[in-house]
Amino acid sequence: MADSPSNRGIIRTVDVCRHYQMGDSVIRAVDGISFEIGPGEFVALLGSSGSGKSSLLNLIAGLDRPTSGEVLVNGSKLAEMTGEELAHFRRYSIGIVFQAFNLIPTMTVMENVELPLRLAGTGRESRGAVVRKALDQVGLSRRLDHRPGELSGGEQQRVALARALVNSPQILLADEPTGNLDSRTGLEIMELIHDCNQRLGMTVLLVTHERALAGRYAARALFLSDGKLAPEDGDPATPAPPESPAGGAL
């Protein structure tokens, strides 16, 4: 499965396509996309609704398989992985944050963040310390026993981010992580994601339709339109250095 050159990007797509049959029509959600992201890069994937951003992210996350072409992460071709190998890949190599927080409402904050560790078979004696460290990274170490319904939207997204980070992945995939948040709270979440990139050296792929967010945080942007990379691919327009948002904890 490995791609022999050692200097390849941590994420590579090679003429990747994802087409869907809808009656007599073919929906070309992803249509011949090739790009490379290097280790430790922060890249934004920009495009309007329906441009193929989330479909492409699902392919990179191993949640879907391409119709044709290749998706490689760390030199391994995801399409050649077994279901068990893909589960291992998602468990240890990537963390995913969605627009919807996807927390389990009957579980506490600690239990939600602990879940990936339980699925990974991490021993009970060590899970507590790892969960507390992840929650401390997002400023929620004092809310361990609360349930999602007792938290604000920003706090729920912080829990979702902690859950994504708890297994120390190399790659963070963020699909419209600020979409359900007000602008100030959204900037606070983006500061945390930016910190993962800068302090932890994590590779970040941010899916967003907000060009201002891409300009503020990403070093580079990819632009999608109708399932294809658009020619505007390059640096985000008018990038500004990140500023800590005003205000205290949510």
* Structure confidence by residue, pLDDT tens digits, 189-213: 999 999 999 998 999 999 998 898 8
Residue 241, both tokens: 């250095």
Which of these ranges, 73-82, 99-108, 113-122, 167-176, has the smallest mean pLDDT? 113-122
- Is it the case that residue 114 has pLDDT exceeding 80? yes
Strand partners, 25: 22
User: Which pLDDT score, from 0 to 100, does residue 8 have?
Assistant: 61
Nearest residue to 153 via CA among 180, 119, 116, 114: 180
- Non-local CB neighbours of 8 within 8 Å, separated by 6+ positions: 36, 72, 75
Q: Which residues of 129-150 are buried (b: 16+ CB within 10 A; e: fewer)?
A: ebbbebbebbbbbebbeebbee
User: Which pLDDT score, from 0 to 100, does residue 122 have?
Assistant: 81
Segments in the chain forming alpha helices (H) = 53-60, 83-92, 109-119, 124-137, 153-165, 183-200, 211-217
Q: Which residue has the tokens 């090739």?
A: 34
d(CA 5, CA 249) in angstroms, rounded, equals 45
pLDDT in tens, 43-99: 999 988 888 898 999 999 999 999 999 999 999 999 999 988 998 898 889 999 988
Q: Which residue has the tokens 């050296």?
A: 201
Architecture in CATH for domain 39-65+82-229: 3-Layer(aba) Sandwich (3.40)
d(CA 204, CA 208) in angstroms, rounded, equals 12
User: Which pLDDT score, from 0 to 100, does residue 125 have?
Assistant: 80
Domain locations in the chain as residue ranges:
39-65+82-229
pLDDT in tens, 169-184: 999 999 999 888 888 8
Confidence of residue 34 (pLDDT cuts 50, 70, 90): very high
Residue 82, both tokens: 């077994």
Q: 142 with 159: CB under 8 angstroms?
A: no
Distances (CA, A) of 2 to 5, 77, 91, 160: 9, 7, 19, 31
Q: Which residues of 199-220 are buried (b: 16+ CB within 10 A; e: fewer)?
A: eeebbbbbbbebeebbbbbbbb
- Rg, C-alpha atoms of the chain: 18
Report the share of the chain in percent with pLDDT over 70. 89
Does the model's pTM come out above 0.75? yes
- Is it the case that residue 234 has pLDDT exceeding 70? no
User: Which pLDDT score, from 0 to 100, does residue 3 have?
Assistant: 42
User: Which pLDDT score, from 0 to 100, does residue 236 have?
Assistant: 52
d(CA 52, CA 56) in angstroms, rounded, equals 6
Residue 117, both tokens: 């560790």
User: Which pLDDT score, from 0 to 100, does residue 232 have?
Assistant: 63
